[in-house]
């Protein structure tokens, strides 16, 4: 049985003033048509799109004009996956060549971003030379850029000129006292400036840049790093302000801090938020803002679908050996894009086809209830449940032991809502390396804390038992089904079995 996905687009229901409530489908609904058209094949801006479309970053921008306490400028590593890390720095000419090679090999790749490893706009010559060349040679690739914002106001004109219609600004605070705990210094007007004064300048420039971009119709996503005890409560205010100024999406990411990364936060023992803290904050901000939940915090030289990195296939020596016929590639790419867009459109339409008569539809979204007080649920209904899914391409399609990550959905009477992801160590290598399996499995189970069900295409006997013992129900009965439908089906089974009236059985994982 399918669970109805309730259409709560603001204009129709009048129940949601935020335009950002509910399921994946309604995240897109909250956007005006022109924005939806711009982001429907951008994996970082549309949760739907990230199952189909891929992105790449080219590391042409090594210089930075600020220091953040979560960043170590010495970092250069092949085995780490997080922002600011790269394996090889490229010249603009190399970056163009790499982009064409990837685009010709991976037709899903629709977006080229420059995100460092420093700040792209602190390297304007290298960044804009890359954009200029690509706009000419690969007009079918969307260009975007991610910046700390300090020099953004100086470059808005040029960004508009190169047809860059997506910009991400990292805004961690709007209060210089908070900023002083995040940014030790900035380089500004030929001086290194420290502390609160530095943060005040940075904040002022970020906000000005945001306003200028919005005024020119360039889409702005705001990234924020959630740092417990530093800006956690404050980010709610940040979210309100950037939304009011016209940012269309807010991406709150968890701080990554380990002593071995050599960052201030890592060395000083600043802790990272746990998944529950992250989700609670995202939920709190969501009343005001479209929230991005599918960010994988990728490297500044990542290649491929979010959550995968195919960078190793495209090192400069391998690219030099490739022959690229970009004209031919563009035809293949156009064909792929048309097919994927049609599939996405069909999926969206299906999600909106009402499956129950209107009278039976009850809105349980807290915001909707707030806005329309009379729409209080009439009958008792099951609580929401977090379910982890070993997924690929929008389907329950991965063996539990092979999953590198799990997508987390919140299932409730209103349908399946994507709320985040958890990284897992794929423990089953199927060979001699299995010796370490037990501890890796334990780590994976720990990463799933808070989830009551895990859906996968298949699962072995041993992990089944361990998951059950940890209070997580494995489920392999929905292999190759669409995620939302599978999650809704499992929720309905739990509801029918009377498992959703009581509070969840305590998770037995720490």
Partner 1 sequence: MALEIIESCVNCWACAPLCPNKAIYEAAPHFLIDADKCTECVGEFADAQCVAICPIEGAILDELGTEMNPPGSLTGIPPERWAAAQAEIAAR
Tell me the chain's radius of gyration from C-alpha atoms.
23
Nearer to partner 1, 260 or 374 (CB): 260
Phi, psi of 359, rounded to the nearest 5 degrees: -60, -30
CB of 87 to partner 1, least distance (A): 14
CB of 64 to partner 1, least distance (A): 6
Residue 123 Cβ vs partner 1, minimum distance, rounded to whole Å: 7
Q: Is 268 in the site for partner 1 (CB under 8 A)?
A: yes
Give the bridge partners for 392, in sequence order.
Answer: 395
CA distance 59 to 64: 13
Minimum CB–partner distance for residue 460 and partner 1 (Å): 31
Footprint of partner 1 on residues 165-184 (CB under 8 A)? 184
Q: How big is the site for partner 1, counted in residues (CB under 8 A)?
A: 27
| Of the residues 12, 154, 177, 191, which one makes contact with partner 1 according to CB under 8 A | 191
d(CA 316, CA 509): 44
What residues between 112 and 141 interact with partner 1 by CB under 8 A? 118, 122-123, 125-126
CB atoms near residue 214 (< 10 Å): 17
Q: Are 406 and 389 in contact (CB under 8 A)?
A: yes
Strand partners, 186: 66, 193
Question: What's the min distance (Å) between Cβ of 300 and partner 1?
Answer: 12
Closest distance between partner 1 and the C-beta of residue 152, in Å? 17
Which residue stretch of 212-220, 258-266, 332-340, 498-506 sits at the interface with partner 1 (rule: CB under 8 A)?
258-266
Q: For partner 1, give the closer residue by CB, 71 or 494.
A: 71
Residues in 52-71 at the binding interface with partner 1, rule: CB under 8 A: 62-65, 67, 69
Are 167 and 150 in contact, with CB atoms under 8 Å apart?
no
Element (H, E) at 101: helix 92-105
The yes or no reply on residue 92 touching partner 1 (CB under 8 A) is no
Distance CA 387, CA 438 (A): 23
Closer to partner 1 by CB, 62 or 382: give it.
62
**Residue 79 in contact with partner 1, rule: CB under 8 A:** no
Q: C-beta of 198: minimal distance to partner 1 in Å?
A: 12
Among positions 11, 34, 74, 497, the unique one binding partner 1 when judged by CB under 8 A: 74
- Shortest reach from residue 415's CB to partner 1, in Å: 45
Residue appearing with tokens 């309100």:
240
CA dist 416 → 267, 291, 482, 485, 492 (Å):
39, 16, 11, 8, 11
Choose between 74 and 498: whose C-beta lies nearer to partner 1.
74
- Exactly one of 36, 73, 399, 423 binds partner 1 (CB under 8 A); which one? 73
Contact 63, 118 (CB under 8 A): yes
User: Which residues inside 370-409 make contact with partner 1, applying CB under 8 A?
Assistant: none
DSSP string over 129-178: HHHHHHHHH-TTSEEEEEE-STTHHHHHHHHHHTT--EEEEE---SSHHH
Between residues 127 and 363, which has the closer beta carbon with respect to partner 1? 127
For partner 1, which residue of 89, 242, 424, 488 counts as binding (CB under 8 A)?
89
For residue 324, what are its two tokens? 């690229």
In the DSSP assignment, the letter for residue 186 is E
Q: How far is the CB of 74 from partner 1 (least distance, A)?
A: 5
Q: Which one, 117 or 463, has the nearer CB to partner 1? A: 117
Residues 87 and 315: their CA atoms lie apart, in Å, by: 9
- The residue (of 73 and 310) whose beta carbon lies closer to partner 1 is 73
DSSP 3-state assignment of 116?
A: coil
- The rounded distance, in Å, linking the Cα atoms of 18 and 62 is 38
Could you say which DSSP state residue 274 is in? P
Q: Which of 34, 260, 317, 431 binds partner 1 (CB under 8 A)?
A: 260
CA 27 to CA 21: how far, in whole Å?
6
As measured in angstroms, the least distance from the Cβ of 94 to partner 1 is 15
Binding site for partner 1 (CB under 8 A): 62-65, 67, 69, 73-74, 76, 89, 118, 122-123, 125-126, 184-185, 187, 190-192, 259-260, 264, 266-268
């Amino acid at each position: 049985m399918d669970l109805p996905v309730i259409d709560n687009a603001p204009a129709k229901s009048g129940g949601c003033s935020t335009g950002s409530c509910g399921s994946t489908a309604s995240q897109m609904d909250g956007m005006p048509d022109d924005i939806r058209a711009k982001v429907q094949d951008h994996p970082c801006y549309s949760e739907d799109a990230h199952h189909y479309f891929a992105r790449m970053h080219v590391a042409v921008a090594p210089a930075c004009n600020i220091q953040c306490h979560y960043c170590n400028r010495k970092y250069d590593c092949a085995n780490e996956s997080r922002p600011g890390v790269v394996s090889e720095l490229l010249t603009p000419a190399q970056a163009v060549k790499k982009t064409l090679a990837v685009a010709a090999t991976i037709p899903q790749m629709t977006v080229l971003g420059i995100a460092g490893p420093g700040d792209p706009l602190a390297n304007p010559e290298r960044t804009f030379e890359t954009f200029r060349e690509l706009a000419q040679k690969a007009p079918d690739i969307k260009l975007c850029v991610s910046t700390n914002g300090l020099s953004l106001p100086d470059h808005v004109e040029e960004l508009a000129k190169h047809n860059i219609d997506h910009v991400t600004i990292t805004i961690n605070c709007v209060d210089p006292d908070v900023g002083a705990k995040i940014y030790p210094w900035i380089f500004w007007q030929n001086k290194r400036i420290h502390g609160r004064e530095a943060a005040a300048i940075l904040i002022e420039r970020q906000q000005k840049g945001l306003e200028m971009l919005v005024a020119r119709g360039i889409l702005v996503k705001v990234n924020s790093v959630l740092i417990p005890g530093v800006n956690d409560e404050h980010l709610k205010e940040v979210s309100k302000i950037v939304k009011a100024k016209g940012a269309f999406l807010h991406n709150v990411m968890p701080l990554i801090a380990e002593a071995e990364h050599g960052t201030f936060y890592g060395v000083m023992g600043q802790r990272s938020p746990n998944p529950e803290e992250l989700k609670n904050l995202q939920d709190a901000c969501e009343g005001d803002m479209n929230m991005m939940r599918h960010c994988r915090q990728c490297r500044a030289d990542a290649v491929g679908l979010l959550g995968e990195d195919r960078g190793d296939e495209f090192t400069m020596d391998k690219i030099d050996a490739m022959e690229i016929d970009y004209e031919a590639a563009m035809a293949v790419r156009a064909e792929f894009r048309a097919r994927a867009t049609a599939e996405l459109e069909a999926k969206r339409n299906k999600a909106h086809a009402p499956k129950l008569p209107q009278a039976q539809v009850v809105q349980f979204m807290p915001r909707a209830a707030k806005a329309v007080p009379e729409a209080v649920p009439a009958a008792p209904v099951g609580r929401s449940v977090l379910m982890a899914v070993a997924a690929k391409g929008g389907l329950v399609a991965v063996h539990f032991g092979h999953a590198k990550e799990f997508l987390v959905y919140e299932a409730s009477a209103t349908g399946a809502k994507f709320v985040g992801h958890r990284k897992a160590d794929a423990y089953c290598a199927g060979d001699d390396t299995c010796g370490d399996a037990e501890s890796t499995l334990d780590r994976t189970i720990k990463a799933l804390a808070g989830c009551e069900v895990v859906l996968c295409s298949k699962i072995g006997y041993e992990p089944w038992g361990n998951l059950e013992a940890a209070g997580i129900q494995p489920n392999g009965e929905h292999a190759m089904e669409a995620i939302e439908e599978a999650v809704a089906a499992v929720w309905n089974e739990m509801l029918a079995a009377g498992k959703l009236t009581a509070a969840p059985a305590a998770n037995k994982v720490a």
